[in-house]
Amino acid sequence: TEKTMDKIVALCKNRGFIFAGSEIYGGLANTWDYGPLGVELKNNIKKAWWKKFVQENPYNVGQDAAILMNPQTWVASGHLAGFSDPLMDCKECKERFRADKLIEQWCQENGVELPKPIDAFSQQEMKDFVEDKNIPCPSCGKHNFTDIRQFNLMFKTFQGVTEDAKNTVYLRPETAQGIFTNFVNTQRTTRRKLPFGVCQIGKSFRNEITPGNFIFRVREFEQMELEFFCKPGTDLEWFNYWRTFCHNWLLGIGLKDENLRLRDHDPEELCFYSKATTDFEFLFPFGWGELWGVADRTDYDLTQHQNTSGKDLTYFDPETNQRYIPYVVEPSLGVERSVLAVLCDAYDEETVDESKNDVRVVLHLHPALAPYKAAILPLSKKLSEPARKIYEELSKEWMLDFDETGSIGKRYRREDEVGTPFCITVDFDTVGDAEKAGDNCVTVRERDSMEQVRVPISQLKEYLAERLAY
Ligand code: ATP
């Protein structure tokens, strides 16, 4: 069976993972709201990242900076001058495109190999390429495009009551800069020596020209970023360290290696300040797409901020008695793209019974990511009370579902479809009756194998803890 975006979007909508934003007002293009299950999945991904990158990591600490920053930040980072995409319109149907994406897509569809990576094309080269190859408008098929112009992706707003230029502030297009501007604060207060890293999870905003593919490209999204500061000269070593670490983290949350591709930039694709960059790409139903960017950014960012702010951002190295600006390795991961990758990777349709044409939809989510860790299912409404007791006890530890409607088979299927690793059924043997004492056991069904075992209620917590550990 084929995994399609339509199926995944439908499951998300119908099971309360992700809804179209502002739906009752006809929506707001490309905004998405996370429902009861979506918020759990999203939070679990963030928790899994924080656990491995901060909590268990000897090198890194966390922080949470403001979304609105002094506009000088964006002068220093280069976002005000250069954070733009090449925009082009079709003069016939008025459709709007990103020239780079138009070229890439056309090449992919027509089996044409680009002479060099698209990021290495100048604006003029893109225009020439579109003309040389006679690339048509994907929307109307005509060949009449406007010139390419650069469109800045930063969202603007105003701070304070007057809406004039000097009150203009920007919604951050990445979380990283709040880490750089706090470098001295963090280093001083934690008394860290190099190498050390600072992690942050937070919203970023980009006024994308062509958002789409569900939650893959949106204008409001979250990033999980690490800025890892190290001594110049050790940066490539640390780059490789984090490249491997990030790869292992993705495998550790259950993504299949066959759906991942680590694409190293070649020299002409690299940003001028970067010594090495790897894009982690995932095979989405619509093709390979970037999930995670890992880059050796040298001392570019801190140097820019030092020059623009006039503040000393050097580090004193007690081993060599020298002052220098640290180098930085940056792994930058999108939360929404992670959610989408995890959903696409986990989605499956399994034939349970060939003869009955019986197919179950199942999300093989890693237990650490599953919205519900277990579902408590009383076999009959008469068993609600003992089932509730179990629910109350276990929900102190984990997010659980409680479902007492419909046949047990249907309930299992509903839990499979949202990736609940364990179903716990309370039946009449559990509580017993006048003739026969209860066995104080429940039936635990595992999602992937569908195997069922009897587990004493007294051992349930331990049983689950062992299997849900991350
Ligand atoms: P793309 O080429 O897809 O626009 P990018 O190279 O501009 O991405 P970065 O600036 O490296 O992306 O951002 C780091 C990460 O942030 C990306 O790998 C992605 O996971 C996430 N991200 C960036 N832009 C968006 C967006 N518009 N919507 C959702 N996630 C995004």
Record the pTM: 0.94
Q: Does domain 87-152 have CATH number 3.30.40.230?
A: yes
The domain made up of 5-83+153-342 has a fold known as BirA Bifunctional Protein; domain 2 (3.30.930)
Q: Are 380 and 428 in contact (CB under 8 A)?
A: yes
* E strand spans, 187-309: 196-205, 220-230, 260-264, 276-284, 287-298
CATH of domain 372-468: 3.40.50.800
Report the 10 Å Cβ neighbour count for 92: 14
Please determine, for the modelled complex, whether the ipTM score is greater than 0.95: yes
What lies within 8 Å, CB to CB, of 15 at 6+ separation is 37, 417, 418
- Does the beta carbon of 338 lie inside 6 Å of ligand 1? no
Please report, in tens digits, the pLDDT of each residue of the chain (470 residues total).
689 999 999 999 999 999 999 999 999 999 999 999 999 999 999 999 999 999 999 999 999 999 999 999 999 999 999 888 999 999 999 999 999 999 999 998 999 999 988 888 999 999 999 999 999 999 999 999 999 999 999 999 999 988 888 899 999 999 999 999 999 999 999 999 999 999 999 999 999 998 999 999 999 999 999 999 999 999 999 999 999 999 999 999 999 999 999 999 998 889 889 999 999 999 999 999 999 999 999 999 999 999 999 999 999 999 999 999 999 999 999 999 999 999 999 999 999 988 888 999 999 999 999 999 999 999 999 999 999 999 999 999 999 999 999 999 999 999 999 999 999 999 999 999 989 999 999 999 999 999 999 999 999 999 999 999 99
Rounded to the nearest 5°, which phi and psi values hold at 452?
Answer: -120, 135
432 phi-psi bin (left φ>0, alpha ψ -120 to 50, beta other): left
Pocket test for ligand 1, best of 103, 221, 273 (most atoms within 8 A of CB): 221
Question: How far is Cα 111 from Cα 388, in angstroms, rounded to an integer?
Answer: 59
CB 334 near ligand 1, within 6 Å? yes
Which own/partner pairs from 20-29 qualify as long-range (CB within 8 Å, at least 24 positions apart)? 29/211
Q: Where are the domains of the chain?
A: 5-83+153-342, 87-152, 372-468
Residue ranges for the known binding site are 98, 174, 206-208, 216-225, 290-291, 330-337
Question: How far is the C-alpha of 247 from the C-alpha of 105, rounded, in Å?
Answer: 27
Burial of 124 (0-12, 13-18, 19+ CB in 10 A): exposed
